Chain A
Amino acid sequence: MLTINEINVFYGNIQALKGVSLEVNEGEIVTLIGANGAGKSTLLKTVSGLLKPKQGTIEFQGKTIAGKAAQTIVKAGISHVPEGRRVFSNMSVEENLDLGAYLRKDHKAVAEDKERIFKIFPILLERRKQLSGTLSGGEQQMLAMGRAIMARPKLLLLDEPSMGLAPLMVKTIFHTIEEIRKEGTTILLVEQNAHMALSIADRAYVIETGHVVLSGLAKDLQEAEQVKAAYLGGL
Chain B
Amino acid sequence: MKKSKIFWIYIAVALVVYAIVELLIVNGQLDMYYSNLFITIAINIILAVSLHLVIGITGQFSIGHAGFLAVGAYISAIFTTNLGFPFPVALIIGAIVAAVAGLIVGIPTLRLKGDYLAIATLGFAEIIRIIFLNIDYVGGAAGMQVDYLTTWTYAFFGVLITIIVIANFTNSRHGRACIAVREDEIAADAMGINTTYYKVLAFAIGSFFAGLAGGLFAHNFFIIQPSQFGFLKSFDILIYVVLGGLGSLSGAVIAAILLTVISLYLQDFPETRMIIYSLVLIIVMLYRPSGLMGTKEITDFFKFNKKAKGGKVNE
Confirm or deny: A180 has a beta carbon within 8 angstroms of a beta carbon on chain B. Answer: no
Q: Which residues of B contact A207 (CB under 8 A)?
A: none
Provide the bound-state CA to CA distance between A75 and B190, in Å: 11
Cβ contact within 8 Å between A71 and B193: yes
Give how many A residues have a beta carbon under 8 Å from the other chain's beta carbons. 32
Within 8 A of B (CB), among A85-140: 86-92, 94-95, 98-100, 102-103, 129, 131
Interface CB pairs A-B, < 8 A, 13? A50-B186, A50-B190, A71-B192, A71-B194, A80-B190, A82-B190, A88-B184, A91-B179, A91-B308, A91-B310, A102-B173, A102-B177, A103-B192
Distance in Å: Cβ of A141 to nearest Cβ of chain B:
13
Confirm or deny: B183 has a beta carbon within 8 angstroms of a beta carbon on chain A. Answer: yes
Which residues of A are in contact with B by a Cβ distance under 8 Å?
48-50, 69-71, 73-75, 79-82, 86-92, 94-95, 98-100, 102-103, 129, 131, 147-148, 151
Distance in Å: Cβ of A87 to nearest Cβ of chain B:
7
Cβ contact within 8 Å between A82 and B183: no
Provide the bound-state CA to CA distance between A70 and B295, in Å: 29
Within 8 A of A (CB), among B170-187: 173, 176-177, 179-180, 183-184, 186-187
Closest to A100 in B: B191
Confirm or deny: B115 has a beta carbon within 8 angstroms of a beta carbon on chain A. Answer: no
Cβ contact within 8 Å between A88 and B179: yes
Q: With A95-B176, A129-B306 in contact, do A90 and B247 touch (Cβ < 8 Å)?
A: yes
Cβ contact within 8 Å between A50 and B189: yes
Give how many B residues have a beta carbon under 8 Å from the other chain's beta carbons. 24
Q: Which residues of B contact A79 (CB under 8 A)?
A: 190
Provide the bound-state CA to CA distance between A86 and B194, in Å: 17
Which residues of B are in contact with A by a Cβ distance under 8 Å?
173, 176-177, 179-180, 183-184, 186-194, 247, 295, 306, 308-310, 313, 315
Q: Which residues of A contact B184 (CB under 8 A)?
A: 86-89
Q: Which residues of B contact A88 (CB under 8 A)?
A: 179-180, 183-184, 187-188
Q: Which residues of A contact B310 (CB under 8 A)?
A: 90-91
Distance in Å: Cβ of A185 to nearest Cβ of chain B:
16
Provide the bound-state CA to CA distance between A82 and B184, in Å: 11
Known: A48-B190, A74-B190, A79-B190. 7 other contacts (CB 8 A): A50-B190, A81-B190, A89-B183, A98-B315, A99-B191, A131-B308, A147-B191
Interface majority SS (helix, strand, loop, mixed), chain B: loop
Q: With A82-B186, A88-B183, A95-B176 in contact, do A74 and B191 touch (Cβ < 8 Å)?
A: yes
Q: Which of the residues A73, A80, A90 comes within 8 Å of B183, measured between beta carbons? A: A90
Q: Which of the residues B177, B191, B306, B309 comes within 8 Å of A151, measured between beta carbons? A: B191
Q: Which residues of A contact B186 (CB under 8 A)?
A: 50, 82, 86
Distance in Å: Cβ of B145 to nearest Cβ of chain A:
48
Cβ contact within 8 Å between B190 and A70: yes
Cβ contact within 8 Å between A102 and B192: yes
Sorted nearest first, the 10 A-B pairs with minimum C-beta distance are A74-B192, A88-B183, A86-B187, A71-B192, A103-B192, A80-B190, A70-B189, A90-B309, A86-B184, A102-B191
Provide the bound-state CA to CA distance between A87 and B188, in Å: 9
Closest to B192 in A: A74
Closest to B187 in A: A86
Q: Which residues of A contact B306 (CB under 8 A)?
A: 129
Closest to A104 in B: B192
Residue of B173, B179, B192 most packed against chain A (CB within 10 A): B192
